[in-house]
Copies of this chain bind each other. A is one copy, B any other.
Amino acid sequence: MSFRAHILGAAAGGGLPQWNCGCENCNLARAGKIPSQTQSSLAVTADGASWAVLNASPDIRHQLAQTPALHPTGLRDVPLASVLVTNGDIDHVAGLLTLREMQPFTLFATAGIHEVLSANPIFDALNSAVVLRETIALDTPFALTPTLTATLFAVPGKVPLYLEGEQVQTDLIGDQTVGVRLEGGGTTAYYIPGCALMNDDLRGRLDGADAVFFDGTLWRDDEMVRAGLGQKTGARMGHMSMSGEDGSIAAFVGMDIGRKIYVHMNNTNPVLRPGSPEHAEAGAAGWTIAQDGMEITL
């Protein structure tokens, strides 16, 4: 029995290529010169028989089709025990609409995230007779699968873009953006696809972990602005960058972590080009850049 994490999708919202984007990376991906990546989702198991999907991306139908371990074994039997969503962002919840089809599983989220879903009747497509929506309190362990225990905890972040008001707090600590601690198969791993900054609480949790899957949205804070794609910095979007003094590469230096894996890369991030200096720099700092279909066994 070992812990396995399967990268269903390595990219942030929009994916690589993003449908309407003509940036360097998106054009390279369309031309087949760098690998395409679907949107942010991770499947985990500690026994190989019962899986949980962490975040349901809009690409989930394609992702599951590419993942034999999650294919049905009978007319309607799939080895999916549960789905957990870590915020209400579209790249993390839209795939729930694909998981209709009268398939039983448990949908785990905090009260705040469940409220976002409940405010949208379209999610009633997940028939409540077969899909149980279970509310999870922060810092309270629960059985994600029969052999995996999960604990949710607050990380600095913001509300989803489509719920932003006039004022937006980008480092809100609450139940709208959470990280996940996973324990099973003798392993402790963390999954944090969105995080606005590193603080002492988070550093204390992560130190000593066997693996951390961490927010790799941007290489540098003004990357999208420089690419001419918009006015928003990473900080404004609630994501800390990889590089720089306040970046995650620097923040993790000195911590004792077995495997460090970046997930949720925006299409502008140069680490998505396997031959780029930034990809090499992240690698030299001990980080793996996730790719669709990659499996991490611990």
Contact = CB atoms under 8 A, between A and B. Distances in A.
A38 to B, nearest CB: 8
Contact of A15 (B61, B161, B230): B61
A140 interface: no
Contacts of A75: 21-23, 227-229
Majority SS of interface residues in chain A? Answer: loop
B122 A122 contact: yes
Given A62-B62, A71-B30, A22 B77 contact: yes
Contact of A76 (B20, B78, B125): B20
Nearest to A15: B61
Interface string A1-32: 00000000000001101111111001000100
Contact of A74 (B14, B22, B71): B22
A36 B20 contact: no
A141 to B, nearest CB: 28
A71 B23 CA distance: 12
Contacts of A23: 75
Contacts of A20: 72, 76, 78, 80, 101, 103
Nearest to A228: B75
Give the copy number: 2
Given A30-B65, A100-B90, A19 B121 contact: no
Among the interface residues A14, A20, A59, A76, which one has the most CB atoms of the partner chain B within 10 A? A20
B94 A97 contact: yes
A155 interface: no
A116 B65 CA distance: 30
Interface string A156-191: 000001110000000000000000000000000000
A20 B77 CA distance: 7
Given A15-B61, A22-B76, A162 B98 contact: no
A102 interface: yes
A272 B119 CA distance: 37
A101 B18 contact: yes
A125 B92 CA distance: 13
Interface of A: 14-15, 17-23, 26, 30, 36, 58-62, 64-65, 71-78, 80, 90, 93-94, 97-103, 116, 119-122, 124-125, 161-163, 227-230
29 contacts: A17-B65, A19-B60, A19-B65, A19-B78, A19-B98, A19-B99, A19-B103, A20-B76, A20-B80, A20-B101, A21-B76, A22-B73, A22-B77, A23-B75, A30-B65, A30-B71, A58-B61, A58-B98, A59-B61, A59-B62, A75-B228, A75-B229, A76-B229, A90-B100, A93-B122, A94-B94, A94-B97, A116-B122, A120-B121
